[in-house]
Structure 1
């Protein structure tokens, strides 16, 4: 079904408490729009760009997003679980007090995104970009984080118990600020951990 609003731009619109359940949106853009408490469950977006939008209280359960972007958007008390995000960006967005898992994240850009304090246990973020993200107090226990870029991320109190970190990229502070008990790491990361703690490997 074609999207009659494809290639259209919307700005400063109020969609609070609106119902777009099950709709399909393509090649649209929304700037400074409000979707507070809207029902977007089952929504499919393809190439849709949201900039500076407010998704507080929104229901995005069972939604699918391909090649879309949520830039500098706010998600508070939002429901994103059972949704799929492929080649999607959350650049600079803030997500708090929200339900996310279980969900599918495939080639997702979370650079500069605030995920502090969220429960993301068991989430598969393979290959995701988390550069300069806020991960303070975030729970990523048993998560799959292979090849993730953590460069510059704030990771104080980040819980990575039993997570798979092989191939991920991180600064020295990552290895001293996150909780890593039981995490799976590779040889290169093991050496980085040793050096971050001021240890020396000797024969």
Structure 2
């Protein structure tokens, strides 16, 4: 099967024509996609490194294996998006809506999820090393085998979250007034 890459120019031509299936290997690094309606778009293996996706609608989009390193997704709608195996290192998802999204086996190192809605998100085997989840809503999230080394969960709400392993190595997770799955409020001991 031949690998077909789509340039940014081709992407915008297809988008203007109402197309949502951009195939695979779209080369959109650094592209300005702010506020675009990409609901249900197919962008598998897309290179969106450093792309501006602020306030974009990616509801139900399929982005398997996409590269979103350092992408700006502040206030983006990623509800029910399929983001399995994505590389999202140092992306900014402040106040983004990821309700019901799938992020299985994704690399989310140092991602800023401050104020993000992660209601019932699937984070199976996701790497959240150094991620910021301040004031994030993780109610009902599936955290099976997720890695939380150095993760900041200050004021995060994990009520009803399942498969939570952060209890195992709580010394490396920042918990300040964090609501745990059982409803208890926990704060890490201060590190002097």
Going from structure 1 to structure 2, the CA distance change for 1:146 and 1:112 (only over 3 Å counts) comes to: same
Match of 1:180 in 2: 180
2:98 corresponds, among 97, 100, 120, to 100
CA displacement 1:101-135 (0-9 Å, x = unmatched): 12222211111100011121222212111100111
Q: Which structure 2 segments of 5+ residues have no match?
A: none
Pairing 1:180-199 to 2, within 5 Å after superposition? 180=180, 182=182
Q: Tell me, what secondary structure is at the counterpart of 2:86? A: coil
In the other structure, the counterpart of 1:28 is 26
Q: Alignment RMSD, CA only?
A: 3.0
Cα distance in 1, alignment partners of residues 143 and 40 from structure 2:
27
* C-alpha deviation, 1:10, in angstroms: 4.9
Which residue does 2:85 correspond to in 1?
A: 87
Describe how 1:57-96 pairs up with structure 2 within 5 A: 57-96=55-94
Q: Is the 8 A contact 2:107 2:126 kept in 1?
A: yes
Q: Does 1:150 align with 2:148?
A: yes
Q: Which runs of 5+ in 1 are unaligned?
A: 184-192, 199-203
Judged with a 3 Å threshold, the aligned counterparts in structure 2 of structure 1 residues 164 and 92 are, in CA distance, closer, same or farther, namely same
TM-score by length of 1: 0.76
Q: 1:170 to 1:111 in 2, by over 3 A?
A: farther
User: Higher strand share goes to which structure?
Assistant: 1
- Greater Rg by CA: 1
Moved over 6 A (4+): none
Aligned to 1:138: 136
TM-score by length of 2: 0.80
